[in-house]
């Protein structure tokens, strides 16, 4: 008699992010029954992309929900690029951390991803204050670097997904 192996959630499959090789995992709960028990690189890429998109959606929701609160609490905060960038980074990070908490990521994983989100803003603002880039490029460069660093944290062996607590 063959044991029935429960299928993992998308987040659990995402925990195995992008191995360079396709490996036989017939006994693994992450096995893809459509390809004879192998987890394909294509499936891992799709899972990674969906997990990444989920994080971006959480960040956008954070800006949409918290932005109006800042407008009421601190009128004119957008007059300076430093405060606008700081508030935006905070809004996105708070929403992301809350979502990761709901998805049962570990505190360490949440801190890693939060650092990946805030660090680019701090660095780009430092470059701006040194006069090396104009103010109208601060948000663009901050977001580009933040998104890249978030992906990097996800891909590293010690990335945030490795600190995801299994349900069960």
Q: Write the pLDDT tens digit of every residue in 9-28.
A: 444 444 444 443 334 344 44
Return the half-sphere exposure (C-beta side, CA atoms, 13 A cut-off) of residue 7.
7
CA gap 153, 167 in Å, rounded: 22
Q: Note the pLDDT of residue 120.
A: 98
CA gap 20, 42 in Å, rounded: 11
Structure pTM?
Answer: 0.72
Average pLDDT over residues 50-65: 96
Q: Are 93 and 149 in contact (CB under 8 A)?
A: no
Average pLDDT over residues 131-153: 97
């Amino acid at each position: 008699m063959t044991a029935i192996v429960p299928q993992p959630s998308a987040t659990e499959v995402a925990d195995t992010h992008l191995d360079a090789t396709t490996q036989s995992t017939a006994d693994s709960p992450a096995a893809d029954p459509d390809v004879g028990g192998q987890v394909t690189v294509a499936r891992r890429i799709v899972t990674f992309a969906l997990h990444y998109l989920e994080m971006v959606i959480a960040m956008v929701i954070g800006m949409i929900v918290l932005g109006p609160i800042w407008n009421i609490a601190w009128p004119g905060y957008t007059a300076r690029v430093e405060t606008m960038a700081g508030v935006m980074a905070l809004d996105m990070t708070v929403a992301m951390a809350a979502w990761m908490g709901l998805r049962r990521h570990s505190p360490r994983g949440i801190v890693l991803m939060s650092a990946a989100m805030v660090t680019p803003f701090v660095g780009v603002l430092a470059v701006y204050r040194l006069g090396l880039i104009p103010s109208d490029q601060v948000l663009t460069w901050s977001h580009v670097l933040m998104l890249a660093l978030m992906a990097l944290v996800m891909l590293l062996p010690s990335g945030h997904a490795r600190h995801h607590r299994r349900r069960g």
